[in-house]
């Protein structure tokens, strides 16, 4: 790293109000992550991975038993959602880590701005689990549940033999 880049990093750090950011930027060498630190970072996702497994198992059973969905289709949906989640996590991680470089990030703070944006979305996610609630755009004859034929299996459609 050149002296000009170091000066630029230090100027960004001193204009920020975070003492931790100034301390992290002022050290020229990268910090060494010990095995203890790596295990501590990894333990943070134990519950998240277990929660995804429980939800995926429940959804797979629900979609196949009560909605009549094929098991391959239900597992494809669950797998694609995990893939989209992984890509979105990388994208939002980069956005969150670099938000302090922009005036809006310095005004509200790196984490605070994204928390202000995602808090209403989490509230909408909670409302999705309220049974019997109809959104204003839902016609009255349409079911508001996950599948329109809950607790009844659809008729089996057989393809003609070739």
The residue among 23 and 85 whose pLDDT is bigger is: 85
In tens, the pLDDT along 40-78 reads 888 877 766 777 788 888 889 999 998 889 999 999 999
Cα distances from 82 to residues 92, 132, 160, in angstroms, run: 15, 28, 36
> Which of 99, 94, 21, 108 minimizes the C-alpha distance to 10?
21
Q: Is the per-residue pLDDT at 139 higher than 60?
A: no
DSSP string for residues in 100-135: GGSHHHHHH-HHHHHHHHHHHHHHHHHHTTSTT---
Query: Among 18-32, 57-71, 104-118, 139-153, whose mean pLDDT is lowest?
Result: 139-153
């Amino acid at each position: 790293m050149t002296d000009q880049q170091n000066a630029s990093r230090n100027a960004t750090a001193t204009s920020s109000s975070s003492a931790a950011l100034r301390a992290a930027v002022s050290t020229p060498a990268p910090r060494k992550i010990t095995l203890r630190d790596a295990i501590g970072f990894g333990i943070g996702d134990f519950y998240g991975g277990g929660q995804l497994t429980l939800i995926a198992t429940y959804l797979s059973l629900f979609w196949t038993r009560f909605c009549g969905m094929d098991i391959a289709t239900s597992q494809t949906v669950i797998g694609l959602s995990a893939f989209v989640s992984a890509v979105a996590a990388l994208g939002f991680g980069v956005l969150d880590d670099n938000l302090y470089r922009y005036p809006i990030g310095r005004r509200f703070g790196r984490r605070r701005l994204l928390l202000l944006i995602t808090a209403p979305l989490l509230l909408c996610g909670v409302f999705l689990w309220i049974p019997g609630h109809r959104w204003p755009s839902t016609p009255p004859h349409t079911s508001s549940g996950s599948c329109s034929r809950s607790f009844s299996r659809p008729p089996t459609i057989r393809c003609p033999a070739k």
